[in-house]
Amino acid sequence: MTNRRVVEDKTTSTVESLLASTDVEDIRRGLKLAEKEFDQEGGSSVRRLVDLISTLFYVDPLDLPELVPVIEEAIDLVARFGKPAVPMLMEKLDEGDLKSQIAIAQTLGRIGADVVEPLVVAYEAMNDASRRAFILYALGKVKSPRVLLAAGCVLEAAESANMELRDTATRAIGKFVESIPPFQLPLQTKKDFLESSERIWLIRTMGFVQRPCVVWGSWQSLAISTQRKRPFLRRFANEFLELTRNSNGTGRMS
C-alpha cells in the first residue's frame, strides 16, 4: 500500500467519524477536511467524498434542527464538485428516502447549468412518476437559461394524470420563466407555457391552487405576457382571490 493510499484512508476515516457526529463544529471540521481533499485531489476524489458527505442528507431536520445549517453547507459543498458528482447523486436519488431525495435535488439544482442535459436524459429514461417529479424539482432549482432544454419535459409532465408530477411541473414552469430572459424564450415555448398554465388553472376545482398562482406571478413579475393573454391573467388573479375567499383554510375548495 502506497503512502498516498494510507493518507487517503486516514482522511476518509477522520471525515467519516466527524460527519457522524451530532456536534455542529465536528461536522464543520469534517466538511472542511473533505473540501481540502477535493481541492488537492480534484475529480478523482468525488465519488468517495459524495458517499461520505451525502450521509448528512439523511438527517431529519425536524429531529435535529440544530444541524440544518451544516446540512446546507454539505449541499453547497457537494454542489461545488460540479458535473462529476451528477452520476453519483442520480444513483442516490433512486436509493434514498424523501429527506435525502429533497437534499439531493437541491444539490443538483445548485450545481447549475451543467446538470440540465443529464437530468433531461435521466427524466426521459425513467417512467416512475415520483422520481420524475424530483428531477423536475431539481431543474426548477437551476438558475440558468439552459433550463430551456427541459421545456418539453415540464410541458409533458404538466399534462400528467399523476398529481405530484403535474404539481411539480407547474412550479417548474414558473421557475423556468424566472430563469430564462424574455428575449431568449421562443415565442412558441412562451405560448405553450401560458396555455399549459391556463389548462392547469381550469382544473383548480381539485383544490390545488398554489402552483398555478406561482406561475402567474412569474409571468407578471417579468412582464412578458402577451397583450392577447393579459385578459386571461387578469381573470386568473380575480378567480384566485374569489377562490381564496371561498376556501375552507386547507388549500382546498370548500
Q: What is the CATH number of the domain that holds 139?
A: 1.25.10
pTM for the whole structure: 0.74
Whether residue 10 is contained in a domain is answered as no
Whether residue 136 is contained in a domain is answered as yes
Whether residue 8 is contained in a domain is answered as no
What digits encode the pLDDT tens for the residues 163-194?
899 989 988 998 998 899 988 989 899 889 88
Confidence of residue 252 (pLDDT cuts 50, 70, 90): very low
Give the residue from 126, 130, 67, 64 showing the smallest Cα distance to 96. 130
Confidence of residue 66 (pLDDT cuts 50, 70, 90): very high
Range of the domain at 229: 34-245
Question: If you average pLDDT over residues 98-121, what whole number do you get?
Answer: 93
pLDDT given at position 2? 54
Give the residue from 191, 173, 188 showing the smallest Cα distance to 228. 191
Instruction: Answer whether residue 103 shows pLDDT above 80.
Output: yes
Whether residue 149 is contained in a domain is answered as yes
Half-sphere exposure of 175 (CA within 13 A, CB side): 21
Whether residue 176 is contained in a domain is answered as yes
Q: State the Cα–Cα distance between residues 138 and 79, nearest whole angstrom.
A: 12
Give the residue from 166, 121, 106, 176 showing the smallest Cα distance to 146. 176
Query: What phi and psi values does residue 199 have, to the nearest 5 degrees?
Result: -65, -40
Confidence of residue 152 (pLDDT cuts 50, 70, 90): very high
Question: If you average pLDDT over residues 222-227, what whole number do you get?
Answer: 48
Q: What angle do CA 137, 151, 215 make, to 5 degrees?
A: 65
pLDDT given at position 30? 96
Domain count, the chain: 1
What digits encode the pLDDT tens for the residues 232-250?
556 655 555 554 455 444 4
Count of residues for the chain? 254
Q: Helix 86-95 crosses helix 116-125 at what angle (to 10 degrees)?
A: 40
Whether residue 45 is contained in a domain is answered as yes
Of 3-7, 32-36, 74-78, 125-129, give the lowest mean pLDDT range.
3-7
**For the CA atoms of the chain, what is the radius of gyration?**
21
- Taking all residues of the chain, what is their mean pLDDT, rounded to a whole number? 81
Whether residue 1 is contained in a domain is answered as no
Q: State the Cα–Cα distance between residues 100 and 92, nearest whole angstrom.
A: 8
Whether residue 254 is contained in a domain is answered as no
pLDDT given at position 195? 82
Q: What are the beta bridge partners of residue 247? A: 253
Q: State the Cα–Cα distance between residues 244 and 44, nearest whole angstrom.
A: 53
Of 2-16, 139-153, 184-198, 214-228, give the lowest mean pLDDT range.
214-228
pLDDT given at position 137? 94
